[in-house]
Amino acid sequence: MKHYIARRVGYSLLSLLLLSLTIFLFVRVTGDPASLLVEPGASPQDIENVHRQLGLDQPLWVQYWQFIASLAQGDLGQSFYYRTPVLDLYFQRLPNSLLLAAVAMAFSLLIGIPSGIIAAVRVGRMWDSAGKIFALLGLSLPSFWVGLVLILVFTVWLGWLPSSGSGTALHVLMPAFALGWYFAAAHMRLTRSSMLEVLGSEYVKLARLKGLPEALVIGKHAFKNALIPVITLAGINLVVMINVAVVVEMVFAWPGIGRLLYEGISFRDFPVVQGVVVIGGAMIILVNLAIDIVYALIDPRIRLAG
């Protein structure tokens, strides 16, 4: 077991290192941040001075080494644009992203799991067909389009909900639904397939032969076992929601991490983009590492094969 965990930790560190190198190189092909920080018509000497202040006059390998050395100490650097430590900016926006992700996850589970159960129990019937259409639309329609439609209906036409900003419970409803729409469809499909697999198992057939009520068979024997992969996916999706809601946060002007990433890209703020991407990647890697370890504890065959 120790060798298995050590291998998984090694793979995780390697993935994080590759992610840091990729984003470090990627942001530097977007342009020169100094051109956005100096006055229009600034001289080459002024631009060179900004490069020196930001450390961009160093060779790339030196910049990357400094980035990794600071990262190892928990320092993500200072924002070029805001002149504030990236970690401070991140934690200022994190509560808003956590709130948005939590409400979006609640929407996705409340919609996805019941619709998946109904589709599996009514397989081949109208409810199953409706569930398939919902899953298709959920996985096909982009979140920004869903957000714009919500604004058109509930803000422009009905005037029920605010179209942007934060501060009240009403502000979070539309962005959370737009973000959770895709994940609701994903949870619905996984719940349906998992339920169908469990409903065809021998112990469910035996429960039915014993004459147990159908509601008890579905609720106690089938649903509890079918829920395991859904909860696993939901845990990963929650971390993904926190870090990838860039488009939704921009549509609704939601002050979260996704909008911070967009601002970093727009201002060519290298430390902000690097920090947000690395933290998001680290969260996803840690969740997957924890899942791998839990699975290995449950099933010894996994650690022997891995």
Whether 139 shows a pLDDT value over 90: the answer reads no
What is the rounded average pLDDT of the residues 165-172?
A: 90
β-pair partners for 85: 78
Residue range 244-284, pLDDT digits in tens:
788 899 999 999 999 999 999 999 999 999 999 999 999 98
Whether 294 shows a pLDDT value over 80: the answer reads no
> Rounded to a whole number, what is the largest CA-CA distance in the chain?
86
Residue range 207-230, pLDDT digits in tens:
777 777 877 777 776 777 788 788
Instruction: Pick 296 or 125 by higher pLDDT.
Output: 125
Cβ(195)–Cβ(222) below 8 Å: yes
Per-residue pLDDT, 204: 76
Instruction: Pick 171 or 43 by higher pLDDT.
Output: 171
Per-residue pLDDT, 301: 60
pLDDT grade, residue 300 (50/70/90)? Answer: low
Per-residue pLDDT, 233: 83
What is the rounded average pLDDT of the residues 155-176?
A: 93
Residue range 46-95, pLDDT digits in tens:
888 888 999 988 999 999 999 999 999 999 999 999 999 999 999 999 99
pLDDT grade, residue 103 (50/70/90)? Answer: very high
Domains of the chain and any CATH numbers:
1-81+270-306 (no CATH), 97-266 (1.10.3720.10)
Q: What is the mean pLDDT of the chain?
A: 88
Give Cα separations from 176 to 116, 154, 167, 305 (angstroms). 20, 14, 14, 40
Q: Which two tokens stand for residue 276?
A: 């947000």
Read off the pTM.
0.85
pLDDT grade, residue 200 (50/70/90)? Answer: confident
Beta-carbon neighbour count of residue 69 at 10 Å?
10
3-state SS record for 5-32: HHHHHHHHHHHHHHHHHHHHHHHCCCCC
Instruction: Pick 291 or 107 by higher pLDDT.
Output: 107
